[in-house]
């Protein structure tokens, strides 16, 4: 084969893009750029996020024009955006939370919505336990004290025989339950649609939210944001918690009233809080930033290499199947929680 014929052959192998796919999610393709390549090799023209963060409604009105699909993180896919999307066939959630997608508007337009359940529950559960342990053993102030040369061995809290209250007993809540019980914790749970079989098998006591708050040494939030209207943990709920109790939120920022939480922490009514999700991200100006009895992380619950690989692979399949007229692996309308 001559050099010229080789070049010709390579050119003929190039895939002509059939679809435009807007990448809204900031993490899709970040750890695994080969996921973007896989879309291109399947006939997609990848359109990168033009602003480097979650796209807001006004930005999406322009960015989504001419796109057949969007792989979304927390972009504002409102009814107005969906109505303006002139070619959109599918919305592919890179994750599981659907509260930023107007599902009714998508359904009315015949736009297929899919998500990626079962990919990051272990990642989020691991971080939940990391935050809990950091709070219980005062890891952050102990680290700073040691680093600064003051060598102050702080007294912490032992987890055995304490009570963990899980607000939400979905896949992540169940994964946290198993981990907490390995530390000898008793587990209570509140969930509007509880898995009673799991509760029986794992000796989880199902209770009302009020009972959970008053009885738990640690409250960990795993409620699906789309099932909660407004704030779940406000001033009244914080007052109902045990004095010195810990609060962990690796779910959604809007579940917690940050101002009321900061007051409870600064007054010493709560022992501490581990927060991975904020009302505004990044949480510029949040009253939580100035407290020393908190552990704050930048919404990294699902950011493990294993979790991102699984999530990206399912996103690709969901996207391509929908564009080809097939049923995605996990369509929102038929997927179990």
pLDDT of residue 12: 44
pLDDT given at position 224: 81
Question: DSSP code of 101?
Answer: B
Mean pLDDT of the chain: 93
pLDDT at 14: 63
- Per residue in 208-229, pLDDT (tens digit) is 999 999 999 999 999 986 677 7
Positive or negative, the CA dihedral 278, 282, 288, 292 is: positive
Nearest C-alpha neighbor of 218 from the set 181, 252, 244: 244
What is the number of H-type helices and E-type strands within the chain?
Answer: 13, 12
Q: What is the pLDDT of residues 57-83, one digit of tens each?
A: 999 999 999 999 999 999 999 999 999
Rounded-to-integer distance, Cα 95 and Cα 299, Å:
13
pLDDT confidence band for 192 (50 / 70 / 90): very high
Cα 193 off chain centre by: 20
Q: Which residues contact 108 (CB under 8 A, 6 or more apart)?
A: none
Amino acid 7: pLDDT: 40
Domains of the chain: 3-119+304-323 (3.40.50.720), 121-296 (3.40.50.720)
CA 288 to centroid of chain Cα atoms: 20
Residues labelled as active-site residues: 252, 281, 299
Residue 144 has pLDDT above 70, yes or no: yes
Among 3-12, 97-106, 302-311, name the one with the lowest average pLDDT.
3-12
Query: What average pLDDT does this structure show over 310-319?
Result: 98
Coil, helix or strand at residue 77: strand
Tell me the backbone φ, ψ of residue 42, rounded to 5 degrees.
-90, 5
Q: Residue for token digits 């529950």? A: 121
* Edge-to-edge strand ranges of the sheet holding 205-206: 205-206, 186-190, 163-167, 218-221, 246-249, 272-275, 294-296
Taking only the tens place, the pLDDT of each residue in 280-311 is 988 999 999 999 999 999 999 999 999 999 99
């Amino acid at each position: 084969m001559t050099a010229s014929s080789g070049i010709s052959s390579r050119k003929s192998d190039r895939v002509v893009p059939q679809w435009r796919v807007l990448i809204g999610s900031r993490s899709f393709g970040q750890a695994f750029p080969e996921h973007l390549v896989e879309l291109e090799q399947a006939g997609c023209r990848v359109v990168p996020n033009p602003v480097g963060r979650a796209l807001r409604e006004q930005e999406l009105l322009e960015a989504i024009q001419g796109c057949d699909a969007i792989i979304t993180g927390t972009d504002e896919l409102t009814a107005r955006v969906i109505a303006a999307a002139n070619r959109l066939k599918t919305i592919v959630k890179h994750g599981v939370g659907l509260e930023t997608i107007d599902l009714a508007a998508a359904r009315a337009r015949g736009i297929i919505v899919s998500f990626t359940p079962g990919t990051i529950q272990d990642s989020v559960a691991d971080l939940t336990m990391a935050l809990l342990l950091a709070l219980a053993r005062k890891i952050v102030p102990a680290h700073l004290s040691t680093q600064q040369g003051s060598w102050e061995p702080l007294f912490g809290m032992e987890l055995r025989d304490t009570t963990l209250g899980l607000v939400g007993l979905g896949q992540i809540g169940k994964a946290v339950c198993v981990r907490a019980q390995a530390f000898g914790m008793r587990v209570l749970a509140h969930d509007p649609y509880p898995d009673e079989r799991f509760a029986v098998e794992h000796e989880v006591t199902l209770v009302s939210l009020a009972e959970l708050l008053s009885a738990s040494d640690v409250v960990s939030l795993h409620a699906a944001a789309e099932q909660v209207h407004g704030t779940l943990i406000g001033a009244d709920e914080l007052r109902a918690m045990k004095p010195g109790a810990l609060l962990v939120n690796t779910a959604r920022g809007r579940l917690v009233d940050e101002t009321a939480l900061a007051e409870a922490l600064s007054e010493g009514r709560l022992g501490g809080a581990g927060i991975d999700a904020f009302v505004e991200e990044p949480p510029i100006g949040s009253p939580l930033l100035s407290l020393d009895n908190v552990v704050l992380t930048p919404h990294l619950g699902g950011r493990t290499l294993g979790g991102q690989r699984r999530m990206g692979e399912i996103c690709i399949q969901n996207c391509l199947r929908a564009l080809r007229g097939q049923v995605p692996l996990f369509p929102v309308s038929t997927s179990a929680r």
